[in-house]
Amino acid sequence: MKVAAIQMVSEVSCQANLLSAAELIQQASEEGAELVVLPEYFCILGAVDTDKLDIKESFGQGPIQEMLAAAARRHNIWLVGGTLPLEVPGDNSRVYNSTLVFNPQGKCVARYDKMHLFKFKKGVEQYDESRTLVPGTAPAVFDLKSLDGNSWRIGLSICYDIRFPEFYRALTDLGTDLVLVPSAFTQTTGAAHWEVLLRARAIENQVWVLAAAQGGTHQNSRKTWGQSMVVSPWGQVVSQLATGPGCVIAEINKTELATVRTNLPALEHRTL
């Protein structure tokens, strides 16, 4: 199955970001991708963190979700909408940071609300997602039958989740073959840890990993690391994009997955 991780440098304008995303989705489709994944906050990286509250949507309706559904139908693809802000009933000051999955008919078939909320402080560089986000409560997977007839179970995760190996082991226990990681890693943390974390999660769980990232200097002066990539179950980076907008395209297959798990049956050797 051919897959695509879209890399963006999202702006403060949601409408501008939706237009950019649509162009990159079309590019990925034209290159033959069946599954296309957008990065975290593809729809906005605001001038201030609370800007995401201004574009929040109710689950199942809104212009961001309509754009994603229409793009999935138009290109006949599985489309994973990076993340977008969904309203929290009874809480006007925070949102869920949510991944939505649309099938080729444009139907939303899966939702995952980010469970682990990023907090980091190094000098003047500070982040605390708990100020504007409510954490999700459960992992999520969905099933995809590719054009070659293979069935894939795909696990959903978002950015900071990658630092929590027990979360990915839970996805593996649910039968996951491929893990998606839409992200907006900071330049500081990305330079230090991004690739090693992605490869570690692939190796220890013997799964494919598809990571779609923000990558560049944004209008709000934030710098994101980029390096969107596809990692094999053996931990090899098979395709990668450094910085700037674009598509990372790769072929993934069930044969390599089965071979790795047969040759090194580490998942069967667990004692805890």
Catalytic residues: 40, 114, 159
Residue among 173, 174, 238, 234 at smallest CA distance from 206: 234
Going by the DSSP 8-state scheme, the letter that residue 12 receives in this structure is S
Residue among 226, 215, 181 at smallest CA distance from 199: 181
Beta strands in the chain (DSSP E): 2-7, 35-37, 78-80, 84-88, 91-102, 108-113, 119-122, 125-128, 140-145, 151-156, 178-180, 208-211, 215-217, 223-225, 228-231, 237-241, 246-251
Q: What is the CA radius of gyration of the chain?
A: 17
